[in-house]
Amino acid sequence: MKAVVYTEYGPPDVLQIKEVEKPTPNDDEILIKVEAASVNLSDWEMLRGIGYARMGGLRKPRRHILGSDIAGRVEAVGKNITRFAPGDEVFGDILGGMGGFAEYALARERALALKPAGITFEEASAIPQAAVIALQGIRDKAQVKPGHERQWGAVLINGAGGGAGSLAVQLAKMHGAEVTGVDNTGKLDFMRSLGADHVIDYTREDFTRSGKKYDFILDLVAHRSVFDYRRALRSGGSYYAVGGSLGSVIQILLLGPLIGRIAGKKIGVLIVRSNPEDMLHAAELCQAGKIVLHIDRRFSLNEVPDALRYLGEGRVKGKIVITMGEGTGI
């Protein structure tokens, strides 16, 4: 089978398109014929060996095929698999196994959900990481519940122009929040199109020093001091980091709860737990038109290096999808 392989950390140039052996599922695994895969910031970090990525190999990557969010058809199942059968259309986050940038990939049963008939493989592949982060941030930590009647307060989403951020904006607006989106200059109009009430260009303004305070902050690209984030919260407000620089995330993890408690605020790291129920819920919201999965560009499997290069430039609005057909780059 064809796969995109890397054996050392580095820029997209280290990726190679190779013919590799088609994997065989063990008793607890499912073999999937991949129809589409989406690109995440975690793929960029694994490629470059940034931060936590080195846990997957200090000097060289132990796993040689990137790609965790996939959608496709079940090709074969191990003898212990009970929820899926060959021919089923599925989607999921196979981060534990990686290997999505290939014609076939292996997954554990708990990582997958049946793809609803009303969404495409491309849309399904864009859901797992991004939508689960958005749901667990806005729904669980911001305590914005389905059917919540009162208008929720001021929500800020840092990294609002990306995959998870674009969905978080829509979820917060769906539940009545006043939303501020933060991203770079090229994404300001995109954030407005998602429904953001206010937008901030981080290249021109530091939201932690503007004087405005927020009830809830979801930070997808944390790189400031925990004291800066405390300053941007109202009394009783909450801040959660999902990603960002290793130094900032560790500081928030270790010092955030104590500093927040002293100030009467919550400051911490959002521990995202992938599960099929949240993926299916996001798919249902997409089917119902309540959220829109914005696919910025589509690339073929051969164009994965170009896709990761584009992601690394920081210009992606929403998601990038890898299809098994011919890529268009648009």
Same domain, 194 and 144: yes
Q: What is the DSSP string of 119-133?
A: S-HHHHHTSHHHHHH
CATH number at residue 104: 3.90.180.10
Same domain, 110 and 166: no
Same domain, 99 and 148: no
Residue 276 lies in a domain: no
Structure tokens, 158:
């840092």
What is the pLDDT at residue 97?
61
Same domain, 105 and 73: yes
Domain containing 83: what range? Answer: 2-126+294-323
Same domain, 138 and 206: yes
Residue 265 lies in a domain: yes
d(CA 285, CA 82): 27
Residue 62 lies in a domain: yes
Residue 275 lies in a domain: no
CB 308 within 8 A of CB 39: yes
**Angle at Cα 99 formed by Cα 94 and Cα 103, nearest 5°?**
115
Same domain, 263 and 134: yes
46: phi then psi, degrees, rounded to nearest 5: -65, -40
What is the pLDDT at residue 295?
96
**Sheet with 198-201: strands ordered across:** 198-201, 178-183, 154-158, 214-219, 233-241, 266-269
Residue 288 lies in a domain: no
Single-letter residue type at 176: G
Residue 283 lies in a domain: no
User: Residue 3 contacts by C-beta under 8 Å, 6 or more apart in sequence?
Assistant: 17, 18, 19, 20, 65, 99, 101, 102, 103
What is the reported pTM? 0.92
Domain boundary among 269, 286, 309: 269
CB 285 within 8 A of CB 291: yes
User: Residue 308 contacts by C-beta under 8 Å, 6 or more apart in sequence?
Assistant: 12, 15, 39, 43, 44, 47, 66
State how beta strands 104-108 and 112-114 pair.
unpaired
Same domain, 7 and 134: no
Same domain, 75 and 113: yes
Same domain, 8 and 121: yes
CATH number at residue 180: 3.40.50.720
Domain boundary among 233, 253, 269: 269
Domain count, the chain: 2
Residue 329 lies in a domain: no
Strands (E), 42-103: 69-77, 89-93
Q: How many CB atoms lie within 10 A of CB 281?
A: 18
Same domain, 219 and 255: yes
Strands (E), the chain: 2-5, 16-19, 29-39, 69-77, 89-93, 104-108, 112-114, 154-158, 178-183, 198-201, 214-219, 233-241, 266-269, 295-300, 319-323
Same domain, 84 and 159: no
What is the pLDDT at residue 329?
55
CB 37 within 8 A of CB 100: yes
DSSP tag of 204: T
Same domain, 11 and 96: yes
Residue 189 lies in a domain: yes
CB 208 within 8 A of CB 232: yes
**pLDDT tens digits, the chain, 330 residues: what are they?**
999 999 999 999 999 999 999 999 999 999 999 999 999 998 999 999 887 666 667 788 888 999 999 999 999 999 999 999 999 999 999 976 669 999 999 999 999 999 999 999 999 999 999 999 999 999 888 865 444 444 468 999 999 999 999 999 999 999 889 999 999 999 999 999 999 999 999 999 999 999 999 999 999 999 999 999 999 999 999 999 998 888 899 999 999 999 999 999 999 999 998 889 999 999 999 999 999 999 999 999 999 999 999 999 999 999 999 998 655 555
Q: Which has the closest alpha carbon to 198: 219, 218, 215, 177?
A: 177
